[in-house]
């Protein structure tokens, strides 16, 4: 799956989140052969829990996708994997990328308020970090930004 195709799928996951009233961000993890091994979308309302009722403020798309990928691979180490996400990861998710040693981060829209992969902070490339994932931003940027803008416009 190419980055472009993966982002198409991540956008569909983001749309699922929006349908649930969640901020529309979608993510997936590709293995070394480009196969999808984990998916996630924002679910702070608790939609990923079995009882569908336990709020989870940390249930960002990236965290859920990397958890699913680790479960699928049977290891926490995602060094051969690529995280694809519609929005530039926040500090928590960029930190989560360091914990998983994910090899590459591909994101869509830049986040001028909370972006931690180059916009406000640059956690993956912080000189204190031994492990530095490759980072590619701006993949299908306009579509990724639009789904967020539409969501917040509708809530106003
Ligand atoms: Zn996040």
Ligand 1 mean position, distance from CA 34 (Å): 23
Tens digit of each residue's pLDDT (9 = 90 or more) over 55-86: 999 999 999 999 999 999 999 999 999 999 99
Model confidence at 49: pLDDT above 70: no
- Active-site residue, selected from the candidate residues 62, 88, 134, 143: 62
Count Cβ atoms below 10 Å from residue 140 Cβ, excluding itself: 20
What does residue 30 show for φ and ψ, rounded to 5 degrees? -105, 140
Sign for the pseudo-dihedral over CA of 156, 139, 25, 13? positive
Kindly give the residue spans of alpha helices, DSSP state H, lying in 46-128: 61-73, 91-100
Known active-site residue 62: yes
Q: Kindly report the pTM of this predicted structure.
A: 0.95
Q: Is 90 annotated as a binding residue?
A: yes
pLDDT tens per residue, range 21-31 = 999 999 999 99
pLDDT range class, residue 140, cuts 50, 70, 90:
very high
* CA 42 to ligand 1 centroid distance, Å: 9
| DSSP 8-state class, residue 76 | S
């Amino acid at each position: 799956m190419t980055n472009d195709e993966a982002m198409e799928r991540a956008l569909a996951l983001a749309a699922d989140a929006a349908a649930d009233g969640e901020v529309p961000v979608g993510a997936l993890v590709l293995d070394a052969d480009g196969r999808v091994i984990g998916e996630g979308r924002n679910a702070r309302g608790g939609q990923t829990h079995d009882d569908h009722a336990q709020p989870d403020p940390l249930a960002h798309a990236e965290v859920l996708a990397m958890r699913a990928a680790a479960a699928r691979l049977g290891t926490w180490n995602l060094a051969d994997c690529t995280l694809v996400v519609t929005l530039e990861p926040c500090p928590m998710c960029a930190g989560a990328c360091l914990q998983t040693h994910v090899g590459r981060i591909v994101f869509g829209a830049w986040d001028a308020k909370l972006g931690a992969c180059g916009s406000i902070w640059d956690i993956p490339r912080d000189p204190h970090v031994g492990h530095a994932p490759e980072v590619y931003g701006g993949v299908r940027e306009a579509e990724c930004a639009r789904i967020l803008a539409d969501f917040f416009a509708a809530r106003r």
